[in-house]
């Protein structure tokens, strides 16, 4: 359930093709070391081939060294869609002059326009700066040098560690508040704020992992954190104001907040459909129960939807009889008992934290 924009997903998937240790990246590294520069199109669709002139029909198996040797010619290189074959070399790209571009160099300008024109991957290797730039549709991404990557990755890991600790403290407070029926808007906003900061730091670290490739062994994924982030997104689903009609509107609003805007708890409150001034909002909030139910073992999200749809609030779910739970589609007797036992155990083992839910940013 991790929330990412389509553009981000496409970019991350493309970056993986160019991670250190991949054949394509090895060939590009040869080009950078040889200081020849290069223009590479990944995709051999009829549309792309119709937009090329001159050059040579190669149609041979891709190898890093072949890519390097062919880059010594001035024209572009066309690779197959899976980057396993070199289709053409030294071709001229027929670029639509009406497509706008902010790039200044001829090679990068052509790469930018051709990526927008064909919606395919185009790579530009700068001869003078020894840098690799990825163009994908309207996006572009400049790959960073190893020392810069390692420094940035270490800083991001440190920040992520700090954010996770603060997030866990906020969740402990929210857990107690939900199970005791004392949830405030500040509890909810602070938890969402910290979960979002963790999610963004983890996403940034993932970019570093991809760019460092085989050198990122010490920064591997932790499935537990991924699960925690996914569960944190359910806070928004639990508390968005019914006036928004769907949680997607709240999610979209929060995702659009930049780092500075995320630091304001008023912005989070507004995204959920509540007043900006959370300090003068004294109403006790009732969770729908999505996040708590997600902690019950082996219960599908579709069944959780059915339960919340029937009972509306966590309190009503907790006080429901086994027979009432059993009657919900997809629950059954065994699952109803598991739900009752798990929620009861949560109530008896969750103690009030000593810390109060204070904003980490204000």
CB-based contact 23:79 (threshold 8 Å) = no
CB-based contact 267:257 (threshold 8 Å) = yes
* pTM, to two decimals: 0.79
What does the mean pLDDT of the chain come to?
A: 91
For 174-214, what is each residue's pLDDT tens digit? 999 999 999 999 999 999 999 999 999 999 998 898 888 87
Extents of the domains making up the chain: 6-143, 148-349
For the chain, give the percent of residues with pLDDT over 90: 78
pLDDT of residue 299: 93
Degrees to nearest 5, angle at CA 221 with 219 and 223: 150
- Return the CATH fold of 148-349: Ferritin (1.20.1260)
For 50-107, what is each residue's pLDDT tens digit? 999 999 999 999 999 999 999 999 899 999 999 999 999 999 999 999 999 999 899 9
pLDDT over 50 (residue 36): yes
CA distances from 67 to 24, 84, 90, 134, 343 (A): 9, 11, 11, 17, 60
pLDDT of residue 358: 46
Alpha carbons within 13 angstroms on the beta-carbon side of residue 351 total 3
Packing angle, helices 185-212 and 223-239, rounded to 10: 140
pLDDT of residue 359: 45
Q: Where are the beta strands (DSSP E) in the chain?
A: 38-42, 52-53, 56-61, 76-79, 85-93, 121-125, 132-136, 139-142
pLDDT over 60 (residue 170): yes
CA distances from 319 to 28, 179, 285, 339, 344 (A): 62, 12, 17, 11, 10
Local confidence band at 5 (pLDDT 50, 70, 90 cut-offs): low
- Return the CATH fold of 6-143: YojJ-like (1 (3.40.1700)
CB-based contact 288:262 (threshold 8 Å) = no
Secondary structure (3-state) at 100: coil
């Amino acid at each position: 359930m991790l929330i990412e924009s389509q553009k981000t997903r496409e970019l991350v998937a493309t970056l993986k093709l160019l991670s250190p240790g991949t054949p394509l990246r090895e060939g590009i590294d040869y080009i950078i070391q040889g200081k020849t520069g290069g223009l590479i199109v990944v995709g051999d669709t009829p549309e792309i081939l119709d937009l090329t002139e001159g050059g040579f029909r190669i149609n041979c198996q891709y190898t890093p060294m072949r890519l390097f040797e062919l880059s010594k010619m001035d024209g572009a290189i066309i690779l197959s869609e899976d980057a396993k074959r070199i289709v053409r070399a030294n071709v001229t790209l027929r670029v639509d002059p009406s497509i706008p571009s902010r790039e200044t160099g001829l090679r990068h300008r052509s790469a930018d326009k051709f990526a927008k024109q064909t919606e395919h991957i185009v790579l530009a290797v700068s001869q003078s700066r020894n840098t690799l730039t990825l163009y994908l549709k309207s996006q572009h991404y400049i790959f960073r040098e190893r020392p810069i990557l390692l420094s940035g990755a270490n800083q991001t890991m440190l920040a992520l560690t700090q954010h996770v600790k603060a997030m866990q403290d906020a969740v402990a407070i929210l857990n107690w508040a939900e199970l005791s029926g004392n949830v405030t808007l500040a509890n909810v906003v602070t938890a969402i704020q910290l979960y979002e900061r963790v999610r963004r730091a983890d996403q940034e670290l993932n970019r570093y992992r991809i760019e460092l490739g085989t050198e990122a062994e010490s920064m591997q994924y932790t499935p537990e954190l991924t699960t925690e982030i996914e569960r944190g997104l359910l806070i928004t689903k639990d508390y968005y104001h019914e006036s928004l009609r769907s949680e997607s509107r709240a999610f979209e609003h929060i995702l659009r907040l930049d780092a500075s805007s995320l630091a304001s708890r008023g912005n989070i409150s507004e995204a959920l459909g509540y007043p900006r001034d959370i300090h003068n909002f004294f109403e006790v909030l009732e969770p729908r129960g999505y996040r708590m139910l997600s902690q019950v073992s082996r219960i599908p999200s579709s069944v959780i939807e059915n339960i919340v749809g029937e009972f509306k609030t966590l309190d009503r779910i907790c006080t429901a009889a086994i027979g009432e739970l059993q009657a919900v589609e997809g629950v059954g007797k065994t699952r109803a008992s598991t739900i009752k036992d798990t929620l009861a155990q949560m109530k008896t083992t969750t103690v009030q934290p000593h810390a109060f839910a204070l904003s980490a940013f204000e």
